[in-house]
Structure 1
């Protein structure tokens, strides 16, 4: 029996036998327990996709802040780095190195970064959906874990499209990006 099922049954029993006050106490205790469970979120993707910038934005921290994950125009993240969430003390956001570089080839990446120790994943991709994004998603699903796909640098794509297209239509460009993500 799962923890959630047991708690649900305990709440139902309390409601039946002891009333709403007893059920509320059980609920409060369970919510306090849930708030204490550590959550390790891995931010992964290709080098240069905006992973570190995403980690900082997720934590509400400016890239120039001393507590920020380092960002740069060259490969910056050389090892998995833990960053505590400033509001939720049980949440740790991990900035992982980029997959598919000479230092972190795709075929060795999962072992190198220790994918199994993370509870949840955010795959950050920029410009286009690539083979490495698919590889990451498949491996995460094999582990029975959950991920979100985040498409980064859309502002840069819109600027480039505006400069390079004669009849630029921002809405059509955004729709193309969305469709590409869904197809990927």
Structure 2
């Protein structure tokens, strides 16, 4: 596998007015699209400038608890099966021992980082952020299966404190649907809505730091629960 070296620096930090190869207007358009959770809009601006792909490296971290399906999600993003040669390792036991980089198959400056699961004996919540050098990534995808837990709250709050963006992905929903099907009152659409609302509620609590009445739904949270 090609050796990848991390180049530090937040591509969208407040002290940088533009991205390499882009005008200030284009940079503002990308920022606005990302803040709105509009990845397709951001991608449209990006495609207008080949220089961005030549000069800017984007580091995207895939994080969450062990066993949530992080590596499988990463493989799906890259168009690979779990058993393909270039795929991230998956299994019924913890397989990711350190942050592992994988380049996008088409856009070689986009690097996905498969992070170890938070909450395992080797990666306790109190030391996890430092162990994986959490602040070095530009964007995050938080994977959660079954239920929203304290570890997910910790990750969401830390990303929010850094002023960065993330998507919250609820995995293994097919298993939840299967387990609910035996109930006479089962309704798939209603079950999916309950799962979605539960994610929104907990993310809102994280955004408020555990306080507030829960009214409203921020632009950032709408981006997190698609």
TM normalised by structure 2 equals 0.68
> 3-state SS of the aligned residue for 1:3?
coil
Structure 2: distance between partners of 1:93 and 1:8: 26
Which of the residues 38, 41, 49 maps onto 2:60?
Answer: 41
Matches within 5 A, 1:114-125: 114-125=133-144
CA RMSD across the alignment: 2.0
Structure 2: distance between partners of 1:8 and 1:92: 24
Which of the residues 101, 104, 113 maps onto 1:85?
Answer: 104
Any conservation in 1 of the 2:97–2:116 contact (CA below 8 Å)? Answer: yes
2:17 corresponding residue in structure 1: 2
Q: How many residues align?
A: 164
Structure 1: distance between partners of 2:111 and 2:190: 37
- Are residues 166 and 97 of structure 1, via their aligned partners in 2, closer, same or farther at CA, if it must alter by over 3 Å? same
- Are residues 78 and 8 of structure 1, via their aligned partners in 2, closer, same or farther at CA, if it must alter by over 3 Å? closer
1:16 corresponding residue in structure 2: none
In the alignment, structure 1 segments of 5+ residues that lack a partner are 10-26
> 3-state SS of the aligned residue for 2:140?
strand
> 3-state SS of the aligned residue for 1:121?
strand
- Are residues 8 and 106 of structure 1, via their aligned partners in 2, closer, same or farther at CA, if it must alter by over 3 Å? closer
Greater Cα offset, 30-39 or 154-163? 30-39
2:129 corresponding residue in structure 1: 110
In the alignment, structure 2 segments of 5+ residues that lack a partner are 1-15, 26-44, 203-226
Structure 2: distance between partners of 1:120 and 1:8: 21
Question: Does structure 1 residue 171 correspond to structure 2 residue 186?
Answer: no
